[in-house]
Amino acid sequence: MPKIVDHAQRRDEIAHVACQVVAHYGFEQATVARIARAAGYTTGMVAHYYESKQDIILAALRLILLRIEERLTRERASSDANLLEVLSEALAIDGQRFTECAFWMAFWGQVSADKKLKRLNAWVHREYMRLFARCFDQHWQEWKAWPQPVRDQVLRSMVTFINGLTASAVTSPRDWPAGMQIEQLRLQLDLLRQWANAQRADVRQARAKADNTKLVRRAG
């Protein structure tokens, strides 16, 4: 009886191995032959599922993004899970997450010289913004009360911060153990929350002042 092959699972397996190979060897050295060898397949077998190395990298990116989304949005045992706990899922705090972050770094190193990768990176950035916005909305009660420009700024700051923190953790892992990464994330969240609440208060004051000015003009 012929063996039943789950082709979708095999594609994901190759993409997962590609993440590991890119993270370990870098983008240029992650050849199709090396990826195939690491996956335990022939180059011809990998070519059956992917036409090129770039197709494999694209699949790997999508796989990582899907895994991050699952971790950020999964149901948690504790109903009062806070934003720090949730966003920590995006940090390089264990082996799997370290590999994902190392893959991103290798990918970013190629973006500036490749127009297709630039477009792909822009899509990834938008997906991260969407995911983080969902997390803020679910775990910060005052999120909806902030003006849209304030929310946008908080999102941009958080994405930039996590990108920088994970890059530091990948390049200097001994200097950035999991506990230190989480503590820095906690501090950044506290600062952003304070700033956003202050911005909201300033907007309220400005509106109140404008309303008072209108009333005075009408009275006069």
pLDDT tier at 219, thresholds 50, 70, 90? low
Give pTM, 2 decimals.
0.81
- Go through the domains of the chain in sequence order and give each one's CATH number: 1-74 (1.10.357.10), 79-220 (1.10.357.10)
Coil, strand, or helix at residue 2?
Answer: coil
pLDDT at 65 over 80: yes
User: What are 164-198's pLDDT values in tens digits?
Assistant: 999 999 999 999 999 999 999 999 999 999 999 99
User: What are 5-30's pLDDT values in tens digits?
Assistant: 677 888 999 999 999 999 999 888 99
Residue type at 159 in one-letter notation: V
Residue 134 vs residues 23, 127, 152, 177: alpha-carbon distances, Å: 28, 11, 12, 27
Residue 79 has a pLDDT of 47
Burial (CB count within 10 angstroms: exposed 0-12, middle 13-18, buried 19+), residue 116: exposed
Burial (CB count within 10 angstroms: exposed 0-12, middle 13-18, buried 19+), residue 94: exposed
Mean pLDDT of 92-100: 93
